[in-house]
Structure 1
Amino acid sequence: MRQTGRHRQTARDNETNWNTQTDSQRQCDKLEHTNRQPETTPKIYSLHIRSDITYRFSNTLVTSKVANPDTVSREAKFDVTLPNEAFITKFKLIINNKTYDGEVKEKEEAKQQYEAAKDRGQSAGQIVAKPRETNMFEIMVNVAAQEKVIFELTYQELLRRKKGRYSHVTYINPGQLVNDFLIEVKINESRALSELEVPAIRNDILTDDDTEDDNELAVIERPSPKSALITYRPTIDQQRQESERGIRGQFVVEYDIERENLAGELLVVNGYFVHYFAPDELPPLPMDIVFILDKSGSMNGRKIVQLKEAMNRIFSDMRTDDRFTIMTFDGSTRFWRNTLVSVTDQTLLEAKDFVDKIPAMGSTNINAALVRGISSRAPVIIFLTDGEPTTGITNPTQILSNVRSQNEGEVPIFSLAFGRGADYKFTKKLAAQNNGLGRKIYEDSDSSLQILGFIEEISTVLLKNVTFKYLNDKVNQTTLTKTNYNTVFGGSEVIISGRLADKTTQGLSTNDLPLKITGTGKDEPFICVYPLPPIKIDRDINVTKDVSIGGYFSKITEKLWAYLTVKQMLRKLDALTDKDEKQKVNDRILQLSIKVNIYCKENA
């Protein structure tokens, strides 16, 4: 999850109760605060969003205060869309100085408790996830006549490094002018911040402009080289300059840190460790890629134009030691070249000419395209489709099975689902089962930039077939998160976590942790053996006043371990086909989620 949520309010008479459930949202990586309301709907008089980022781990508290000026009770309805990578950890209402806490529970237990409380006329809450709608939560609360209600939601996410930066994004759209409006982001990192930017409020659409103005209303303080405090508090007049419905857009904080050790960094707190690995100084490997592009009739119009724009940009960015070819498909398949060709001025011109002349027509034979693409023995496949299979083998489960049986060399397949008609569930499973990544491309004016951005994320490979081994007996090997990676991309970061074998270990470990990293580099095998010293923790670290060091910070590594473990189990679910195995993984996710109090889709 990369962006933050939205509140929407509607009104109708109702008994006093509150309930949370998910709803759909166009972009999963945003949290957007919106308010759609009749004239007499309760008023948001205060909206505070406070984020505390400690070693890439963000803890965010959303506080919305609502007043009902009407002479009758009104129901306030909030839609909160979380960042795509976030988990809810706490939610509560404060009504007449009484706090109603929500808990992560199994669906049937939560439903029964909620219905029973509702029948008694009591305040109650639950989180329910609807199918395919993973990130929007709907909260309903009755606000009595001329009374106030406070809603608080806490969520956590691990900021993922992309293109050399961590990005923390808050979508703001209260739908009205808010008298007390505050966004506060605190950063405390293990090393000095090498970059820090707060650009002007962005909209949803990507642009070609690499230069952005600074956010003139954002105040940046630097208490130390490793920390920063960003405050954004627009006045009513400043909000009105945008519109009478307030400010709308993305509030973004981007940063990176200095790095000294090729083996990465180690954070150890209270018996758990987290290892960060980002070897940016390594030279990139040459890329061998087969582009498999959908040219069926549904691609006709703006989509085929945007695909051509994106491919021409991608060709221009390829390195001279890369090799590539192109396959197009509709009801049948066609290769531009039957073998991979080197990048030269001539081959790029010919490839661009081929792409420019691609017509959009015919049916969609996804099975034939993937099976033939795998038979080309390409080291990497990038697959793009805008629809569902309409000819040949049309059963997605059978197609996935065929691809698995054909892909004996475990060729990574990076899949893009382009537009509203694309089967994103299928393409995500395809990527998960074949060592790749899946991405949804939204059908907007910036579609070509979305495609280009995804390719840029995966086009610089620093290492292949990477394995991490922790060599002494202090690590409980059964608790380790993923330690084998098919690829490590430039500008990204690999994060591994686990428990120490000695459960009595408290605070920081004073000993080095021997580590061996092996993989394939550009010119030779990569072997890195290090005694990895722990990060020196600043015990005076400045976290938000709502979070104590004894609570949040003392459990930061455990939270990170649980977060990574659940995320990896969710990805495993995407790859599984056996119902019994899927149920076992779902049960494990639920048990861990309840233990550490995090909420995700599978809990529902």
Structure 2
Amino acid sequence: VPPPTLGSCPLFKRPSFLPVAHLQSGTMLLLALSLLLAAVSSVPVQKEEQKDHGIDIYSFHIKSEVRSRYAMTVITSRVANLANESREVNFHVEMPKHAFISNFSMTMDGQTYNGVVKKKAEAQQQYDKAVSRGQSAGLVSSVGRTLEEFTTSVTVAAHKKVTFELTYEQLLKRRLGQYELLIKAKPTQVVKDFKASVLFVPGMYVLIDVHIRERQGIRFLDTRGELVSTELSKVVNTTLSEKEARVLFAPTRQQQRQCPGCGADGLSGDLLIVYDVNRPKTKGDLQISQGYFVHYFAPTDVNRTSKNVVFIIDQSGSMHGRKIEQTREALLKILDDVPEDDHFALITFDSTVRSWKPQLVRATPDNLEAARSFVRKIQDLGATDINAAVLEGVRMLKVFTDGQKTNKTASILILLTDGDPTSGVTNLDTIRANVKEAIGRKYTLYCLGFGFDVNYEFLEKMALQNDGVGRRIYPDSDAALQLQGFYEEVATPLLSDVEMNYAGVSDVTQTTFSQYYNGSEIVVAGHVTDNELETLRAVVKGYSEGNEVKYEDASSKNDDATDAYISDVYIQRLWAYLTVQQLLEKEVLLSGSDKEAIRERALNLSLKYSFVTPLTSMVVTKPEGDKSQVLHKPKEGKPGSKGEGDGM
């Protein structure tokens, strides 16, 4: 079945790609991008007070549609060169790290230059040829806490115009009981025609003109961020019905100077749209369209499961100063929120491992107060023995859980460190192997990397090997809040050992989950291979407080075909997006032929659906005489770090 294109959706009229042969007629731009925030950047200028540069962004539109959590966003910037000679016009975007760009084009003098997604190595070859012909190359890319930034440019003749259009896609992830759609607006000058809107519909897209459509119904919706503060809050127009919401933001030129950080250069800020859906059926929402299905599972009728948690805290010398202060601050706040029926332990480590208590203890008021006293005295000193610290935490959990009479609790370890291992076992592969063997799939390990001196890839891989996730804690003023926020996500386990089962399907995304936490959501998608199947049935099994629970749901293909809130486009593209994301995560854990097979599958899907991922780049022809540029998807790293040249 051919993948649905954005052009099949009325909102996204996407021009057909140029044939590869046409790419030879002009110089080349290589793009590797990703999704869910965007901004257009040009030389700051106001039409009322023309500056020498003569560049006018006369129209700037962001349209986003969300259908059943899957967001497609289109940014369109129209720019005029008012000067009497050619000028370079820049296009700058900021987008979420986990988004995939799926289309980019430039239109000048009636000619549209479209992007073609290619295997990274093939794109690199074209780029190298351009460089060998003496064409200069430049790269501007950086990584922030939630965004990636990309910039490209084109030369526009005197008194001519150019239109840039960028499309990116993302599955909104539910955290702490809500979904977030973030739109970044930074045109760098006051714009005559600025418009941003979002549409939400249970099962549809989000726009700034944001339009949201959700089949399950919208439980609440709120707008936040710099663009809705002070006077600009009056500009945001929100309409909300049972299953749809629309957020429209269209400030006047004067209003574009009124947000914090705004001024003569116009808007510069975020619009954050937060919402959640109704859950009338505890078993979730199962949808089918054009041979693909998606299952959203977030049960509401489950009791909280008590947990056993071991905090493993790096107190080595590199944690000196603000890091150790913020760690103490966060731990004190976390201890305030530990329920009394939980059990916990505190381990600190440098070159020596220290346990607050020799075993896990119940979170009674007296124990929590004693733990706070211990936390207040944590000081930085010594080297970093990650291996011994984590193994001690696993040992303590094993002793405690082996002594429990029932298996009604969830057991997790949370490691916080800011550096590489420098004491004890320091070989990263050996540490991972030791931890994996000790845990034996019995517990979940979460690894938090504080700052940028840490080997984040090592922590992420170790977490993934043990059913957890890695998370970077950015060394900013709110680092303590970042730590607290992560703990809140895993503070309330509801189900463990969750298995999602379906009949008559194939190519299904992840179906087993070690833990399901309150406020989150499990999403599974796949291909319905049984053409005779009229009703798709889902059976979900898991454990709540040690007891097996079972959920069953069914969805009729005929009923869904007539449902106005189910789109032919979004389910298949959602499946492809989720599959590629999970394959890229899985590839981190593999080696040899298994790793290559996973990479090949992720690459093929990226090419088929025109996703710009770490395995692909987007090639765009540009008018003759313009520079070649390479913009790639940067790796996780320090904000503001830049790479250039051929680092695709």
TM score, norm. by length of structure 2? 0.79
Structure 2 SS opposite 1:416: strand
Q: CA deviation at 1:361?
A: 1.3
State the shift of 1:585 in Å. 1.4
- Tell whether the 8 Å contact from 2:36 to 2:183 is kept in structure 1 after alignment: no
Distance 1:273 1:121, change over 3 A: farther
Give the match for residue 521 of structure 1: 544
Task: Tell me how far apart the structure 1 counterparts of residues 395 and 30 of structure 2 sit (CA, whole Å).
Answer: 48
Indicate the residue corresponding to 1:289 in structure 2: 309
**What is the deviation of 1:34?**
4.7
Asked if the contact 1:22–1:129 (Cα under 8 Å) also holds between the matched residues in 2, the reply is no
2:440 aligned partner: 408
Query: Secondary structure of the equivalent of 1:377?
Result: helix
Q: Which residue of 2 aligns with 1:207?
A: none
Counting only pairs closer than 5 Å after superposition, residues 37-48 of structure 1 correspond to structure 2 as 40=53, 42-48=55-61
| Amino acid aligned to 1:516 | V
Q: Is 1:326 equivalent to 2:364 in the alignment?
A: no
What residue in structure 1 maps to residue 334 of structure 2?
314
Q: Deviations over 1:216-268 (max 9, x none)?
A: 3210123x410011101111111112322222222011111111212111110
1:99 corresponds in structure 2 to: 112
CA-to-partner distance for each residue in 1:560-598, whole Å, 9 max, x for gaps? 11111111101102222x143322211111111111221
Structure 1 SS opposite 2:288:
strand
Equivalent residues in 2 for 1:39-438 (5 A)? 40=53, 42-113=55-126, 135-185=148-198, 186-201=211-226, 215-222=233-240, 224-242=241-259, 243-377=263-397, 379-438=411-470
Greater RCO structure (CA 8 Å; 6+ sep)? 2
Tell me: CA distance 1:582–1:311, structure 2 relative to 1, closer, same or farther (3 Å): same
Residue 605 of structure 2: aligned partner? 592
- Measure, in 2, the Cα distance between the counterparts of 1:538 and 1:525: 34
Give the 3 Å change call, closer, same or farther, for CA 350–110 of structure 1 in structure 2: same
* Amino acid in the other structure paired with 2:551: C
Q: Structure 1 354/557 Cα, relative in aligned 2: closer, same or farther at 3 Å?
A: same
Q: CA RMSD in A?
A: 3.3
Deviates more, 1:224-233 or 1:364-373: 364-373
**AA matched with 1:317:** D
| Structure 2 CA distance for partners of 1:311 and 1:36, relative to 1, 3 Å | farther
1:556 correspondence with 2:570 = yes
Q: Tell me which amino acid in the other structure corresponds to 2:233.
A: N
Output the CA distance in 2 between the equivalents of 1:73 and 1:18.
19
Distance 1:292 1:32 in 2: 40
AA at the equivalent of 1:140: S
Q: By how many angstroms is 1:91 displaced?
A: 1.0
Partner of 2:517: 489
CA contact (8 A) 1:20 1:140 kept: no
Letter in 1 for 2:118: K
Deviates more, 1:294-303 or 1:40-49: 40-49
For residue 167 of structure 1, give the secondary structure of its aligned residue in structure 2: strand
Partner of 2:408: none
Give the partner amino acid of 1:404.
K
Runs of at least 5 residues in structure 2 that lack an aligned partner in the other structure: 1-24, 46-51, 199-210, 399-410, 618-648
Q: Report the residue type matching 2:350 in the other structure.
A: D
Structure 1 pair 402/381, CA: closer, same or farther in 2 (3 Å)? same
Identity %: 36
How far, CA to CA, are the matches of 1:358 and 1:30 in structure 2? 39
Amino acid at match of 2:252: T
Superposition deviation, residue 338 in structure 1:
1.7
Matches of 1:189 and 1:429, distance apart in 2: 35
CA distance in 1, matches of 2:554, 2:162: 53
8 Å CA contact 2:28–2:127 kept in 1: the answer is no
**Retained in 2: the 8 A contact 1:58–1:157?**
yes
Unaligned runs of 5+ in 1: 1-14, 204-210, 543-548
Shift of 1:536: 5.6
Shift of 1:156: 0.8
1:117 shift after superposition? 8.0
Equivalent pair of 2:314/2:416 in contact (CA under 8 Å)? yes
Deviation for aligned residue 1:465:
0.2
SS for the counterpart of 1:104 is: strand
Describe the shift of the 1:32–1:296 C-alpha distance in structure 2 as closer, same or farther (beyond 3 A).
Answer: farther
Aligned length, in residue pairs: 558
Q: Which stretch shifts more, 169-178 or 46-55?
A: 169-178
Q: Structure 1 residues 132, 215: closer, same or farther in 2, change over 3 A?
A: closer
Mapped to 1, the partners of 2:392 and 2:540 lie a distance apart of 35
Distance 1:353 1:36, change over 3 A: farther
Q: Report the 3-state secondary structure (helix = DSSP H, G, I; strand = E; otherwise coil) of the residue aligned with 1:488.
A: strand
Maintained 8 Å contact 1:266/1:535: no
Pick one of 12, 15, 19 that aligns with 2:29. 19
- In structure 2, relative to structure 1, the CA distance for the partners of 1:265 and 1:130 (3 Å cut) is same
Amino acid at match of 2:454: A
Separation of aligned partners in 1, 2:117 and 2:441: 41
Cα distance, 1:537 vs. partner?
5.1
**Equivalent-residue separation in structure 1 for 2:39 and 2:431 (angstroms):** 37
1:546 aligns with none
Which is worse superposed, 247-256 or 63-72? 63-72
Deviates more, 1:31-40 or 1:187-196: 31-40
Q: 1:575 aligns with which of 584, 589, 609?
A: 589
Residue in structure 2 matched with residue 3 of structure 1 by the alignment: none
Q: What corresponds to 1:468 in structure 2? A: 500
Q: CA deviation at 1:439?
A: 0.9
SS of the residue corresponding to residue 592 of structure 1 reads helix
8 Å CA contact 2:43, 2:90 repeated in 1: no
* Larger deviation, residues 422-431 vs 314-323: 422-431
Cα distance change on mapping 1:541 and 1:182 into 2, 3 Å: farther
The amino acid across from 2:192 in the alignment is N
CA-to-aligned-CA distance 1:337-363 (integer Å, 9 cap, x gap): 121111111111011110110001111
* Residues in 1 aligned to 2:462 and 2:349: alpha-carbon distance in whole angstroms: 17
Shift in Å at residue 128 of structure 1? Answer: 11
Q: Residues 111 and 126 of structure 1 are in contact (CA less than 8 Å); yes or no, is this contact kept in structure 2?
A: no
Query: Which stretch shows the higher mean deviation, 387-396 or 423-432?
Result: 387-396
Distance in 2 separating the partners of 1:522 and 1:535: 38
Which residue of the partner structure matches residue 5 of structure 1?
none
Helix, strand or coil for the counterpart of 2:615? Answer: helix
CA distance in 2, matches of 1:316, 1:515: 39
